Structure 1
């Protein structure tokens, strides 16, 4: 791989700790980055993502799309000659989503008690 084709990335976790820096090919997709993050995730954390969909990557204030490559996201990264790019990792496990979202059937039902005179 040519050296200019490599991008050095660091992933900042919710508690301020990091995964990386690790060099990636600029043709790597965001989904591939997420899979690598899950495999490298420290097991001593309270929250551990299980699926790539449980993880969101944020760079320069933008949530990165799974289908995009690093080179397609590069405008978000800016131009850092030889620097390490830090991305923020947000974890939202799908089980936590289902616990916080209420089903319409679970909401209390109210009966109408209108009187028309």
Structure 2
């Protein structure tokens, strides 16, 4: 694919630092962007995604869907020549489905401690 047809993207992380810029084909999907972002994630960050499903990409105020292509996600004002598109990255770990036993026991103890034995006459 000719260089002029590629889209240049960079990803803004939660602390204001950037990953990229990288060149992508307009037919690349958001899922592909997330996979590359996970592989290029800086090792010195406190928050690290475990996989692409832990990442949400935001462009022009919209959360991008995995099946959409880069061309479908571009905002109209991004058509300027040689412009770099900045996508914001939100790391949101997948919720766990099971609660650890220790946490359940702690919650039960807290409920027992908050029991009030007051009598009103």
TM-score normalized with structure 1 length: 0.77
Distance 1:4 1:78 in 2: 14
Report the CA distance between 1:71 and its aligned residue: 0.9
| Equivalent residue, structure 1, for 2:29 | 29
Residue 98 of structure 1, CA deviation: 3.5
In 2, the alpha carbon distance for the partners of 1:15 and 1:58 equals: 15
Indicate yes or no: 2:8 matched with 1:8: yes
Q: Does structure 2 conserve the Cα–Cα contact (< 8 Å) formed by 1:62 and 1:76?
A: no
Match status 1:49 vs 2:49:
yes
CA shift for structure 1 position 51: 1.2
Query: Hey, what's the Cα distance between the residues in 2 that align with 1:5 and 1:61?
Result: 24
Structure 2 alignment gaps of length 5 or more: 98-106, 112-121
Q: Show structure 1 runs of 5+ residues with no match.
A: 100-105, 109-117
In the alignment, is the contact (CA less than 8 A) between 1:58 and 1:88 conserved in 2? yes
**CA distance in 2: counterparts of 1:36 and 1:76, whole angstroms:** 25
**Aligned-pair Cα RMSD in Å:** 2.2
Contact 2:60 2:75 in 1 (8 A): no
Moved beyond 3 Å, runs of 4+: 75-78
1:93 maps to: 93
**Deviation string, structure 1 residues 55-100 (Cα, Å, up to 9, x no partner):** 0000000000000010111236632221100000000011xx338x
Alpha-carbon separation, structure 2, partners of 1:17 and 1:91? 14
Larger Rg belongs to:
2
User: Match of 2:82?
Assistant: 82
